[in-house]
Structure 1
Amino acid sequence: MIEFTDDWMMHKSILGEGAYGEVKLIVNKHTNEKVACKIINYGKEENISITINKEVVIHKILHHENIIKYFGRRKEQLKEYIYLEYASRGELFQMIEPDVGMSSCLAQLYMKQLLNGLQYLHNLGVVHRDIKPENLLINEEGVLKISDFGMATIFRSKGRERLLDRKCGTKPYCAPEIFLRPYKAQPADIWSCGIVLIAMLTGELPWGDTTCEEFINYTNDTYITVTPWSKLGNATLSLIRKILVIEPSKRLTIDQILNHPWMKYDFEDNKRDVVGSNSSPVKRWNSMLEAETRVHRTNPNVILSQPTPAVRPTSIDQLVTDLRTNRESICFSQPTHNENMFLSSQIQFSETPLTKDNFSNLIKRMTRFYVTTNYEKTLEVLCSVLDTFHYNWQTDGTGAVTISTVDLMKNQLIFKTNVIEIQGKILVDFRLSKGCGIAFKKKFKKLKECLDDIVEKNE
């Protein structure tokens, strides 16, 4: 951890990243209150201030239990800090088992919360335009929160609606009309919710975009015998087919979705079978969560606040030597001695090591595991496996390895791995940087299987 202000400490580990910056966790020294800090780097790309200002203007008017809270912002010459609610369970895709999904009970719960948040947005005249599991966060109590309003816009003002013409979003989740003509706002968001529901229930996406063979088969009604459709029951198919209607005007509304029999079915008996009907709601949720994921999740990875260039080492031996040398002499920097966390820009170098105590503050993920090998041997085995998969990989000299590949739809997929020492134990942490969260989870599972000989079995 590093000192951010007199009263706040910042974890150097990253929670997530986007096109213009990264998100870190800051913790109050006295109250242990946690806030997510989105750090925008204005030096990375020109003319992004207009985009950021639009995002903030929209986000600051939103107040709903299923939307991440906006707390404030602080500007500097080349950086901006945006303070948001912290959701400790991370992105929704972390809860989705590749090729399996999650229980209908959990999927129904998340779908209801997603629709409640989206209905609030639409009632205000706001459309999100990038609904996907990577932009849906889960807090400690298991409540879904819609986040990332970088592509949001106003479609209704003073009772008058306008058609939208910007082609934006993430292709597998985009409604077909977005690529064809000016489109209505609300049906486009609803289509994305239908794709999210498929992902939650099956651990798959039905197509990569609306030009591929899988989508054409769907429009021709020649899809029902293949995955992910063959994994779905009749009631679920009935709902999804009515959401994913090609003609936007015939698509179900949010109210109609919430009143569909599948959405009203009582899955509570399944929860009680797992944890008992006398448990408190929070205990029932936490126990159900553990039963669903079957994996213990802990902490994210370490990065530099002053990044060094990524260089592919000439050999694994050279990689280990470089990382061991560099990581022992690294300092981290952030503003300190502020009157409050919204002001000032002074810099000081200070660091607190990662321990089991502050480790538990950080976001929970399924894509990490402890190993039985030491730091050097772990890196050696990891990089050998990456070469076996023919992945492109680089290191920035801090223990972080950036891995680049493509998913089944040939879209770019980038994720990062950190090997972290925590009081005598070695943690290998994987985090999505760019691309599809479900595709990333599939890659992670295969990598972990190949590293099985060194994975600690009773983590």
Structure 2
Amino acid sequence: MQTTAFVEDWLCYDTTLGEGAYGEVKLLIHKKTEEKIACKIINHRKYKNASSNINREVTIHKMLDHENIIKYYGRRQEPLKEYIFLEYAAGGELFQQIEPDTGMPSGMAQTFMKQLLFGLSYLHSKGIAHRDIKPENLLIDSDGNLKISDFGLATLFRFKGKERLLDKKCGTKPYLAPEVLLRPYRAQPADIWSCGIVFVTMLTGELPWSEPGEKNKEFMKWKTDMYLSETPWSKLGNTALSLARQILNVDDKKRLTITQIENHPWMRFNFGSDKVSDQVDGTSENLAKRWNSMVESETRHNRETPTVTLSQPTISNTRLSIMQAVDCLRNTTKNQLCFSQPTHNDDLMLQFTESPVTRDNFHNMVKRMTRFYVKTNFEKSLESLCSALDSLHYTWNAAFKGAVSVTTVDEHKNPLTFKANIYDMDGKILLDFRLSKGCGLEFKKKFLKIKKYLEDIIGDCSDL
């Protein structure tokens, strides 16, 4: 793990927390206090249209101060780059807690849903619509608290008591309210619809449809009340299904408000004392076991769940042979971060030093369920990984030292990009997978396929 020294004893770790539309997010750590913050780095040379969008995002984000919203700490601008400093959420994205095709324990989903609605209620009270609520934009802190992030599509819908209709068709299609694609729409019901999709996804591990339009058969079954025997609805208990139906009402005027959702019986039911903070650190397998052991006080529909059929994958177009990739990743380094002379001391970044990932600093990496140790050395691990990617017909390229960039499509034929980083931790090899672009749930499905291919070399992961 590389670090860049900050004055005042700050270090910038060269491990990417995430990627947005205009750049990467890095981790800053204070050497003495171990305080951590996230730094979003925007390269204006690469993203020439970023400036106005970033300015709008910052203007909105700096207005906010709430326990369920990622805090904004400040920004630093340069001619070609700028840095936005944000609260660090060590638990990673919400989708990491969702087991594909299974979901998560009901009590855990209820806690996250309450926190999401609490944060969204605050946003709406400020006259702000988020417009891109989805698990990839919902982060979890070290205590298991949900935080709304990424205000790149946020906008004001109310000013001085006067509300306006929104007309921009923006967001992520599976989470969009149907009216967003049809006509000028009210901000609050549209955000609430997105929360409803998150709710269903948390409980079932599935997205109900790829988009809410008349050309989508899954959505039309929902709209015409022909869905009861279909997945994901067949996985929901009666009370949860009742709540989903009222949040995902196609008529936005009849859709539940936040207060009505909070007062629904499912939201008020006591699911037990499972601590979210404990489950944030769990493995996917353990989450699945806990979910399966949960007994809700309601009757589930006893119906078969149809098998999910994946669409035809893209044909592998590997540019490097496996051995070329081994050589490339062993002997190349990523472009070093370059910082021009700043205007304030507390923004000053000095020399670039290298500090490998070790078991001592491993706790600084964001929590993910998409990583595992292997029993093989660096070269053999990379060879096995690339062979698995070839077998699955995923396109891959050596991105930089210790990383492979993978591109494919999800089951809805939407692009999906993720990175596999290979860390040598005191002689113990760690494979760490991170989503770059696309659906988090679909990414986890691909990860599980890769993990299945590599099961013969997977080592002891008990300390992850």
Distance 2:344 2:355 in 1: 21
SS across alignment from 1:383: helix
Name the stretch that deviates more: 39-48 or 231-240.
39-48
Counterpart residue number, 2:198: 196
Counterpart residue number, 2:234: 230
> How many Å apart are 1:69 and its aligned residue?
0.4
Contact 1:334 1:348 in 2 (8 A): no
Contact 2:5 2:352 in 1 (8 A): no
Picking from 219, 224, 237, the partner of 1:220 is 224
| Over 6 Å off, 4+ runs | 336-339
SS across alignment from 1:246: coil
Q: Which one-letter code corresponds to 1:63 in the other structure? A: D
Counterpart residue number, 2:357: 354
> How many Å apart are 1:5 and its aligned residue?
1.6
Q: How does 1:439-458 map to 2 (within 5 A)?
A: 439-458=442-461
Distance 1:335 1:207 in 2: 44
Q: How does 1:68-147 map to 2 (within 5 A)?
A: 68-147=70-149
Contact 2:91 2:280 in 1 (8 A): no
Counterpart residue number, 1:169: 171
Distance 1:371 1:48, change over 3 A: same
Counterpart residue number, 1:3: 4
Contact 1:74 1:342 in 2 (8 A): no
Q: Which one-letter code corresponds to 2:403 in the other structure? A: A
Distance 2:335 2:413 in 1: 38
Picking from 142, 157, 160, the partner of 2:159 is 157
Q: Does residue 63 of the first structure (1) align with residue 69 of the second (2)? A: no
> How many Å apart are 1:288 and its aligned residue?
4.5
Counterpart residue number, 2:297: none
SS across alignment from 2:408: strand
Give me the CA root mean square deviation: 1.9
Q: How does 1:39-50 map to 2 (within 5 A)?
A: 39-50=41-52
Name the stretch that deviates more: 335-344 or 197-206.
335-344
Task: Give the unaligned 5+ runs of structure 1.
Answer: 272-283, 297-310
> How many Å apart are 1:352 and its aligned residue?
1.9
Distance 1:332 1:295, change over 3 A: farther
Distance 2:112 2:132 in 1: 17
Distance 1:27 1:340, change over 3 A: farther
> How many Å apart are 1:295 and its aligned residue?
5.6
Q: How does 1:324-403 map to 2 (within 5 A)?
A: 324-327=330-333, 332-335=336-339, 343-344=347-348, 348-403=351-406
CA offsets 1:59-79 (integer angstroms, 9 cap, x no match): 001000000000000011111
Distance 1:358 1:288, change over 3 A: closer
Distance 1:246 1:313 in 2: 46
Counterpart residue number, 2:278: 287
Distance 1:400 1:295, change over 3 A: farther
Distance 2:201 2:74 in 1: 33
Task: Give the unaligned 5+ runs of structure 2.
Answer: 288-316
Counterpart residue number, 2:180: 178
Q: TM-score, with normalisation over the residues of structure 2? A: 0.89
Distance 2:341 2:35 in 1: 18
Count of aligned positions? 429
> How many Å apart are 1:348 and its aligned residue?
3.3
Distance 1:397 1:458, change over 3 A: closer
Q: Which one-letter code corresponds to 2:429 in the other structure? A: I
Distance 1:91 1:154 in 2: 25
Distance 1:331 1:416, change over 3 A: closer
Q: TM-score, with normalisation over the residues of structure 1? A: 0.90
Distance 1:27 1:338, change over 3 A: farther
> How many Å apart are 1:287 and its aligned residue?
3.4
Quote the sequence identity (%): 57
Name the stretch that deviates more: 284-293 or 223-232.
284-293
Counterpart residue number, 2:304: none
